[in-house]
Amino acid sequence: MPKARSTKTPRSTKSAVHVLTLGCPKNEVDSDRMAARLDASFDVVADLDHADIVIVNTCSFIQAATEESIGVVLELTGAWKTARPGRAVVVAGCMPARYGDELAESLPEVDAFVPVADEAAIARIVAGLTGTAVATPSSDAAVRTQPGPSAYIQVSDGCHRRCTFCTIPGIRGDYRSRPLEEIRAEAALLVAGGAKELVLVGQDISAWGRDLPGDETLADLVRAVARVNGLAWLRLMYVQPDGITPDLLEVMAEEPAVCRYLDMPLQHASRPVLRRMGRSGDAAEFLRLVAVVRDLLPGVALRTTLIAGFPGENADDVRRLEGFIVDARLDYVGVFEYSREDGTPAAAMDHQVPKRTRLARAQRLRDAADAVGFERAAAYVGRTLEVLCEGLDEDGAPFGRHRGQAPEIDGIVYLDRECEPGRLLTVEIEDAMGYDLVGKVV
């Protein structure tokens, strides 16, 4: 679902801007940065109806995400833009970065396009649409405009890998690490602003530091951020399997704030398929890695993503992948059907798998993953867990998450009473419903 940035009410002295985010947590961070740069010159408002300008931060990683982004843009340039004279629609992020001039020709009703590389100039671009002067922001650091107990920190951008199915290098460029001190300062700012949990994100955070002077690694970064005063939880997302080192696991075991949780994108378990993907590893290697992680981090929650129907994938490959899912017994598995993306090497490969077959294979793998995941979630019944209160869901039910549940993508813990968002609770788990748990505050 698109996410609004900000809780401010509009003021009449400045043009009002609403930032709408589509896609992954990395886009949420980009939206926060754009909102921070806009805040000195404009009112960044939560209510779309109060806005004069809407900035749509788009996702274009796969075709389905592009289609969703286009649908949202068309809806805004239609009824919303024409409802009041002077309104403008700005399309930012991955979609203009990927499609460039082609997008401008297809969507002439859009007032401006801002690719990822130009987002630092967002205030100047919006000022050009409104005819106002641009004030200098007090800080170029990301400032939270959406309150809540969890916040994302982007530790790097771009990617040095060249997986044959992936569009990210073409959209966001080569890998670029942010300096450790800059990340630590942002972490302190976010915690001072009320964040209890920080989530480190990037296309491949395990490669952090490889392009910086010195020999610091992700393990050093995790230790530094984990020791920020007042931080309760620190979570790592998008850690490639070859980047899960003994040093990193040691830090995760030693630092109390670090959640015993790893999101490691494996993509497949069949060696032939992985090699066509431009990736290393296989089922046996991944099972050994899972065993090592669980040995050094008892109770760790593990998540991965898998692709079904990659070009050349056959029935044996699917059986091998399904067997890996059963043997690895991961807590969360996201299964996606392969998306044939223009401009990627995989799009030109022979033996493309028909869409109907891709869908059927993806569902088969999801069913296998759910059988394991539901069983692992049910094993929490009877245990007492630390839970971070999130507030109320759409139906008014109080809920939170334990350390083995990442924001928005894993299950949640339903609570028997309301609690203040950001409060850490001791909860006795009484029941499980799929990936969700039900608990009593004790």
Helices (H), 278-411: 283-296, 315-328, 355-378
Q: Output the pTM of the full model.
A: 0.83
Name the fold adopted by 384-441.
OB fold (Dihydrolipoamide Acetyltransferase, E2P) (2.40.50)
What crossing angle do the helices spanning 180-192 and 218-226 adopt, rounded to 10°? 30
- The beta strands (E) that lie in 202-278 are given as 233-236, 258-263
Task: Centre a 10 Å sphere on the Cβ of residue 394 and count the other Cβ atoms it contains.
Answer: 5
Rounded to an integer, the average pLDDT of 326-339 is 95
pLDDT, tens digit, for every residue of 385-408?
A: 999 999 888 888 899 999 999 998
Structure tokens at 75: 């809806």
Amino acid at 34: M
225 φ, ψ (degrees, to nearest 5): -70, -35
Domain at 3-130, CATH class: alpha beta
User: One-letter amino acid identity for 308?
Assistant: A
Mean pLDDT of 16-32: 83
Question: What are the domain boundaries of the chain?
Answer: 3-130, 150-378, 384-441
Confidence of residue 8 (pLDDT cuts 50, 70, 90): very low
Name the residue among 74, 65, 64, 71 with its Cα closest to residue 93. 65
Asked whether the predicted pLDDT for residue 138 surpasses 60, the reply is no
Average pLDDT over residues 184-211: 91
Average pLDDT value for the chain: 89
* CA atoms 272, 278, 281, 286: torsion sign: negative
Average pLDDT over residues 38-66: 86
Give the pLDDT band (50/70/90) at residue 137. low
What is 150-378's CATH superfamily? Answer: tm_1862 like domain (3.80.30.20)
| Average pLDDT of span 356-363 | 96
